[in-house]
Chain A
Amino acid sequence: MASIVLKDLSKTFGKVVAVDQVNLTIQDGEFFALLGPSGCGKTTTLRMIAGLETPTSGTIFIGDQDMTNCNPRERDVAMVFQDYALYPHMTIEENVGYPLKVRRINQAERKQRVTDVSNNLGIGSLLERRPGQISGGQQQRAAVARAVVHHAQVFLFDEPLSNLDAKLRFESRGFLKHLQKELQITTVYVTHDQAEAMALADRIAIIDHGKVAQVGSPQEVYLRPQTVFVASFLGNPPMNLLPCKLDLAKRQVQINGSQIDVSQVSQINGIKTLVSEGENLSLGIRPEHISLYAEETAQAFPAELYVTQPLGSEVLVTLQVAETTVSVRLFTDEPPELPRRVWLKPDPKRILLYRTDGNLVA
């Protein structure tokens, strides 16, 4: 077990900057997720930790040791690849036992450990088969078994669930989290699925174009995204961002002709130093933090109904405010009858304000 420290880590491929000055500290035993859209450099970061890619600049520490230029085999890490990389010519038993075989662990002990791990992961009856003869979910477990069979300091996962169907992905999520908590091994988990990252990780780093946009617990990054990018990446549907005009003196913003009080917004007192009177801002509010009214209401702004989608335990309402699309989540199992014109009232404690450069100001 070990902590991981990345210092000013960068990687360029020709002209492409895949990873740009990344600084991260991953605690011993932590389940850490790297989250970001396709092509943002998650895999490259993971591969540098594994030693499969040499950093262009920067340093990597694993367990206080500088591992920047070490071979993968010296780092004592285990990795589960997106395609699982199970060797097709070996049985599952040989696959799972391979890390032990190359470490010259004798056959009896090898067999014992492979059997133990495989039984734990529910693939004990498949040991004689080859990877081509088992299902995707079983392959994923076999790949995890191969990773945990020798007790590495660090686990690395590169989108291990992306090849599974929705139901299996949900099951595997619980299984992986349980396993990690049981083994207490430092884990770095790459995904582009925000729900996966939120569900699994102790902390999440959101990556944007090779840079770390924000690091924090799932609650922190969900409730107080530091940039518009993070706000619009997390959540399904993502946070609503409404253009508004700030009235500093009255502690109000103007949206679609209505005045909304922002005096309860956290850190509103510090906003003076960051913005000027009458500046255009974005008001951020999650779909579940908006109340919907059929009549004109104080502290609410008007919107045009676009469509309602019942989702079982909740109803998703999509509306139009001037040119902006707004989503509202209603926790009811009965789709409400709504007029064309409705009023939306954001929860005043949940409002966030962003500057036009994308940074959170209050």
Chain B
Amino acid sequence: MKRYRKRISSVLYYVFAVLAIAFFGLPLLWLILTPFNSRASLAVEIPTAPTLDNFRAVFQNKFAVQALTQNNLIIAIGTMLGVTLIASLAAYALSRARIPGRNAMAYTLMLFSSVVTGTAAMVPIFLIIMGMGLIDQHLGVILVLIGGNLPTAIFMMRDFVDDIPASYEESAMISGASPFQIFKDVALPQVRPGMMVVAVWSFVNAWGAFLIPFILLRSSDKLPASTAIYSFYTEAGTPNILLVSAYALLYTLPVVVFYLLVNWKYGFRFFGGIKR
């Protein structure tokens, strides 16, 4: 009896696992397979006669290509550099300085971050960027994205910095190192994995951002891919599924490559604010 029950429960376990994988895996499979199809379909089907025509068609759309190869890169790299640099320094200060209520401060910042990039703050953000004269400029988008991502990034970063014993820096200080030497020789090598996590995370966030660039950018030659994807819709508003999926696949690739690169080089340790 007991043995049967055990077997049944393990069968149920596998059924559930397969269902869960299918639920999350099928859309990805669709995304990978469809661009190589010659016929549009919403079903997952292995192409009988694989073709690259869809990609050729996508590359003919100058506007969409520029979005991907220029605008997206500018916005994502700009945001990534800003977030990683500022978050590292801020997290260091927040972790080392004896400020009363610094934990409360970190959590409050965290909460606010969802407001800054959320819909609620759109009007004030628009007005502020307009006041700064940065409407329809990539810098405006980058600044808003940096602001929105910073609190979470600081929070993640602080977890890494907290794990580094202060005695490393103190020991270097006593050895006679200057503040810059301490930063370069002792602190930086220690927080590098954390900086990589934050860099990838903020890059991905900025790469996929839709709302902020949609609102702050006007000229079609400045739009990133998330908005440029609409150029594959017909005038009547129906999407050309083949071209959209081909474009979407191209849109995903750099993120995957970037992740794999960092993972291979530094070994990913994603703690995301959770203490082990």
> Which A residues contact B (CB, under 8 angstroms)?
50-52, 71-73, 75, 77-79, 81-83, 85, 87-89, 98-99, 102-103, 146, 150
Would A83 and B176 count as touching, CB distance under 8 A? no
A29 to chain B, nearest CB (A): 20
B185 to chain A, nearest CB (A): 7
For this complex, 17 residue pairs linking A to B, each with C-beta atoms less than 8 Å apart, are A50-B174, A52-B174, A71-B173, A72-B173, A73-B176, A78-B175, A79-B171, A81-B171, A87-B172, A87-B185, A89-B189, A98-B172, A98-B175, A98-B177, A98-B185, A99-B175, A102-B178
A14's nearest neighbour on chain B, judged by CB, is B100
Specify which chain A residues have a CB less than 8 angstroms from the CB of B190 in the assembled complex. Answer: 88-89
Specify which chain B residues have a CB less than 8 angstroms from the CB of A98 in the assembled complex. Answer: 172, 175, 177, 185
Q: Is B181 an interface residue (CB 8 A)?
A: yes
Specify which chain A residues have a CB less than 8 angstroms from the CB of B189 in the assembled complex. Answer: 87, 89
Which listed residue, B167, B178, B181, touches A85 by the CB 8 Å rule?
B167
Which listed residue, B167, B174, B181, touches A72 by the CB 8 Å rule?
B174
Which listed residue, A52, A85, A150, touches B168 by the CB 8 Å rule?
A85
Specify which chain A residues have a CB less than 8 angstroms from the CB of B173 in the assembled complex. Answer: 51-52, 71-73
The answer to whether residues A77 and B174 also contact, given A89-B189, A89-B190, A102-B181 and a CB cut-off of 8 A, is yes
Cα of A88 to Cα of B192 in the assembled complex, Å: 13
Would A81 and B175 count as touching, CB distance under 8 A? no
Cα of A78 to Cα of B176 in the assembled complex, Å: 9
CB 8 Å contact bits of B163-196 with A (1 = contact, 0 = none): 0010110111111111001000110011000000
Specify which chain B residues have a CB less than 8 angstroms from the CB of A51 in the assembled complex. Answer: 173-174
Specify which chain A residues have a CB less than 8 angstroms from the CB of B165 in the assembled complex. Answer: 83, 85
A74 to chain B, nearest CB (A): 9
B170's nearest neighbour on chain A, judged by CB, is A52
A146's nearest neighbour on chain B, judged by CB, is B175
A47 to chain B, nearest CB (A): 8
Specify which chain B residues have a CB less than 8 angstroms from the CB of A52 in the assembled complex. Answer: 170, 173-174
**6 A-B pairs with least C-beta separation:** A85-B167, A99-B175, A85-B171, A89-B189, A102-B177, A73-B176
Cα of A50 to Cα of B176 in the assembled complex, Å: 12
Specify which chain B residues have a CB less than 8 angstroms from the CB of A50 in the assembled complex. Answer: 170, 174
A12 to chain B, nearest CB (A): 13
Specify which chain B residues have a CB less than 8 angstroms from the CB of A75 in the assembled complex. Answer: 174
The answer to whether residues A102 and B176 also contact, given A87-B186, A89-B189, A89-B190 and a CB cut-off of 8 A, is yes
Cα of A362 to Cα of B174 in the assembled complex, Å: 45
Which listed residue, A81, A88, A89, A103, touches B176 by the CB 8 Å rule?
A103
Would B174 and A79 count as touching, CB distance under 8 A? yes
Which listed residue, B167, B177, B178, B186, touches A81 by the CB 8 Å rule?
B167
Cα of A73 to Cα of B182 in the assembled complex, Å: 12
B182's nearest neighbour on chain A, judged by CB, is A102
A286 to chain B, nearest CB (A): 38
B167's nearest neighbour on chain A, judged by CB, is A85
Cα of A85 to Cα of B185 in the assembled complex, Å: 14
B192 to chain A, nearest CB (A): 9
Cα of A106 to Cα of B208 in the assembled complex, Å: 50
Would A78 and B168 count as touching, CB distance under 8 A? no
B98's nearest neighbour on chain A, judged by CB, is A13
Interface centre among B167, B172, B176, B181 (most CB of A within 10 A): B176
Cα of A103 to Cα of B181 in the assembled complex, Å: 11
Which listed residue, A73, A83, A89, touches B174 by the CB 8 Å rule?
A73
Cα of A98 to Cα of B178 in the assembled complex, Å: 12
B100's nearest neighbour on chain A, judged by CB, is A14
B191 to chain A, nearest CB (A): 11
Specify which chain A residues have a CB less than 8 angstroms from the CB of B167 in the assembled complex. Answer: 81-83, 85
A82's nearest neighbour on chain B, judged by CB, is B167
B178 to chain A, nearest CB (A): 7
Q: A52-B173, A102-B185 are in contact. List 13 more A-B contacts (CB 8 A).
A: A51-B174, A72-B174, A75-B174, A77-B174, A78-B175, A79-B171, A81-B170, A85-B165, A85-B170, A87-B168, A89-B190, A98-B185, A99-B176
A235 to chain B, nearest CB (A): 32
B182 to chain A, nearest CB (A): 9
Specify which chain B residues have a CB less than 8 angstroms from the CB of A71 in the assembled complex. Answer: 173
B171's nearest neighbour on chain A, judged by CB, is A85
Specify which chain B residues have a CB less than 8 angstroms from the CB of A102 in the assembled complex. Answer: 172, 175-178, 181, 185
Specify which chain B residues have a CB less than 8 angstroms from the CB of A83 in the assembled complex. Answer: 165, 167
A355 to chain B, nearest CB (A): 42
CB 8 Å contact bits of B131-144 with A (1 = contact, 0 = none): 00000000000000
Cα of A45 to Cα of B165 in the assembled complex, Å: 20
Would A73 and B177 count as touching, CB distance under 8 A? yes
Specify which chain A residues have a CB less than 8 angstroms from the CB of B186 in the assembled complex. Answer: 87
Would A78 and B178 count as touching, CB distance under 8 A? no
A13's nearest neighbour on chain B, judged by CB, is B98
Cα of A75 to Cα of B181 in the assembled complex, Å: 18
A136 to chain B, nearest CB (A): 16
Specify which chain B residues have a CB less than 8 angstroms from the CB of A103 in the assembled complex. Answer: 176
Specify which chain A residues have a CB less than 8 angstroms from the CB of B178 in the assembled complex. Answer: 73, 102
Cα of A150 to Cα of B174 in the assembled complex, Å: 12
A206 to chain B, nearest CB (A): 26
A103 to chain B, nearest CB (A): 6
Cα of A50 to Cα of B174 in the assembled complex, Å: 7
B181's nearest neighbour on chain A, judged by CB, is A102
B269 to chain A, nearest CB (A): 14
Specify which chain A residues have a CB less than 8 angstroms from the CB of B177 in the assembled complex. Answer: 73, 98, 102
B177's nearest neighbour on chain A, judged by CB, is A102
Cα of A89 to Cα of B174 in the assembled complex, Å: 19
Cα of A85 to Cα of B173 in the assembled complex, Å: 12
